Chains A and B, each alone.
Chain A
């Protein structure tokens, strides 16, 4: 048994790739996710996030590379793998003519879940008391919460979440983030695709930057920021009625420059500044995450 086959590696993608005709959507994508780990998948639209997720969930067959999930090979053991994963899509795709409870029960039945408690799950995603209502009457936020609930009907070992907090109000978004944390603590490996850098930073154990179909960087948010972000000290001074600002990059020459500034008259505040994931992404991709 190799290190990659160790039991705590829930998902391993090795050099996977996919092309739409001549256009390469994903190329040589390699990463793994351990059980209980949250991996943030970050990239702009068209970067290859969705294509990668579709290969991992069995919707697309990779043209190159290997996917192992829970010790099984995708797509060869697709049915067995799909029985143990949960997928939350970015686009709403519930049955509007069915009630929330019927939607959950239907998918639980497809997964062969015995004794499924729809109401407990509805309560968990903040839809307590709404189980008997048709989804067609739900707001987009309610539908999104139900989508998250649907991804959990089989207590998945690997969870794929595509923009799970998209369209949610801040309170609901916080509740969904808490659920993601709980699922990871339960032992589920989570692949989280998001545009929200703060969300990725707050939730992810590691993040992968993907652009033009390739993974540009893969590490913990802290490590990426420390290694690739620009750290600085920001000092503010009063100059008459105006407030001036000086930013000193924390490099080799920073000590002398800081000493000089600190001794200047009118010093109001001193703040250290850390790079954000957005800054790091720009450094890697040469573009912002839009």
Chain B
């Protein structure tokens, strides 16, 4: 195995990449899907947590209006606040009573009733509580801690655009990670350039590694862009990045297996249409949380989607998701011998003339 040759092979694919519609699609997909979902289900260009508060006009509480990273709305009455929370149009709300402000100014430990919308994301709740406590302390001139009572309003459950996050992530990672190397392999089969590579010092393992890296890097980029667009890195970005990395590797390996197997582009896309369901189905337990989790655990993609979701939406940390991540790593490791065997199998099939029939496109590439 030569790192230099792998780099040369990867550099060639990177040079050809911008000419491939699939690579461009893989890069555009995260943005397109995020915009689509945010557009359809709300939240477009409105990623900030939303806090509403009711206050007594006789007191100065303007400090609450300028909370960093929080969209603050003044609400006229407590009833209106409750309605907005129940409808999921606010993530949280507080009623700043005269008694609360009096206790605050008297140096006593006041109690703050924080109402949380059942449909709000855990990430948004965390940001709001942190911002609110900071503002209250500032208001009191660094006074005593505030006692916060949290009351959930409305039905518990996350908004649909949040629950669809795993779907957006898997689409982005799978298209880039699996389809890009798969289609690159199939195209080289159709153009018969793989045979030329296989009689050079480049081994099938090196060719596969280069294509896997191409898919893995693109999947990583697509996954991270998706998380960034959805403001979904969570409180422990390292854990979400690790989840995306495991997903990128797993998808690249699956793409290489698919690309080795598919004899031509038509078969590849037909197989993708059917086979993609096997990769996508674990997202059902995120979209419909009442479904039993064991269903999703049957799919390999669950083991990177679950950690990403847990960290970015449920405020979990690495210690909470390490087991799923470990299973994901094990799946990646287990796929390595399969990928290497697929490389040798593909080389033999090509040499025996049982694969790599030219497409009309590649035939047409050579004018008479």
Q: Given A60-B352, A97-B19, A136-B365, answer yes or no on A87-B199 (Cβ-Cβ < 8 Å).
A: yes
Cβ B366 vs Cβ A107 within 8 A = no
Cβ A94 vs Cβ B193 within 8 A = yes
Pick the contact of A59: B15, B19, B199, B366 (CB < 8 A): B199
Cβ B16 vs Cβ A97 within 8 A = yes
Contact residues in A for B199 (Cβ distance below 8 Å):
57-59, 82, 85, 87
Judged by a CB distance under 8 angstroms, whether A98 is at the interface is yes
**Interface code B314-354, partner A: CB below 8 Å = 1, 0 otherwise?**
00000000000000000000000000000000011011110
Which residues of chain A from 82 to 102 have a CB within 8 Å of any chain B CB? 82-83, 85, 87, 89, 91-98, 102
Nearest CB of B to A81, in Å: 9
Report the bound CA distance from A91 to B198 in whole Å: 15
Report the bound CA distance from A267 to B193 in whole Å: 60
Judged by a CB distance under 8 angstroms, whether B63 is at the interface is no
Contact residues in B for A85 (Cβ distance below 8 Å):
199
Judged by a CB distance under 8 angstroms, whether B195 is at the interface is yes
Report the bound CA distance from A203 to B203 in whole Å: 33
The listed residue with most A CB atoms (<10 A of its CB), out of B5, B12, B350, is: B12
Nearest CB of A to B3, in Å: 12
Report the bound CA distance from A94 to B348 in whole Å: 20
Cβ B351 vs Cβ A59 within 8 A = yes
Contact residues in B for A20 (Cβ distance below 8 Å):
352
Contact residues in B for A150 (Cβ distance below 8 Å):
196
B9 to A, closest residue via Cβ: A110
Contact residues in B for A95 (Cβ distance below 8 Å):
12, 16, 191, 193
Q: Given A93-B193, A136-B365, answer yes or no on A112-B4 (Cβ-Cβ < 8 Å).
A: yes
Which residues of chain A from 157 to 205 have a CB within 8 Å of any chain B CB? none
Pick the contact of B200: A89, A91, A98, A111 (CB < 8 A): A111
Contact residues in B for A50 (Cβ distance below 8 Å):
353
Report the bound CA distance from A109 to B200 in whole Å: 10
Judged by a CB distance under 8 angstroms, whether B8 is at the interface is yes
Judged by a CB distance under 8 angstroms, whether A287 is at the interface is no
The prevalent SS among residues of B at the interface is: helix
Cβ A140 vs Cβ B366 within 8 A = yes
Pick the contact of A110: B197, B365, B367 (CB < 8 A): B197
Pick the contact of A143: B8, B16, B195, B366 (CB < 8 A): B366
Cβ A106 vs Cβ B12 within 8 A = yes
Cβ B8 vs Cβ A106 within 8 A = yes
Nearest CB of B to A189, in Å: 16
Report the bound CA distance from A65 to B97 in whole Å: 94
Which residues of chain B from 183 to 210 have a CB within 8 Å of any chain A CB? 191-193, 195-203
Nearest CB of B to A188, in Å: 16
Judged by a CB distance under 8 angstroms, whether A138 is at the interface is yes
A150 to B, closest residue via Cβ: B196
Nearest CB of B to A14, in Å: 20
Report the bound CA distance from A222 to B26 in whole Å: 62
Q: Given A54-B351, A59-B347, A112-B4, answer yes or no on A137-B196 (Cβ-Cβ < 8 Å).
A: no
Contact residues in A for B367 (Cβ distance below 8 Å):
137-140
Report the bound CA distance from A111 to B4 in whole Å: 10
26 A-B pairs within 8 Å (CB atoms) are namely A54-B351, A58-B198, A59-B350, A59-B351, A78-B203, A83-B201, A89-B192, A91-B192, A93-B191, A96-B191, A96-B365, A96-B366, A97-B16, A98-B12, A106-B12, A107-B200, A110-B8, A110-B9, A110-B201, A111-B200, A111-B201, A112-B4, A112-B5, A112-B201, A139-B367, A143-B366
Known: A60-B351, A89-B192, A89-B196. 19 other contacts (CB 8 A): A59-B195, A59-B198, A82-B199, A87-B199, A91-B192, A94-B193, A95-B12, A96-B191, A96-B362, A97-B19, A106-B8, A110-B197, A110-B200, A111-B201, A112-B4, A112-B5, A112-B201, A138-B367, A139-B367
The 3 closest A-B pairs by CB, nearest first: A93-B192, A59-B351, A96-B365
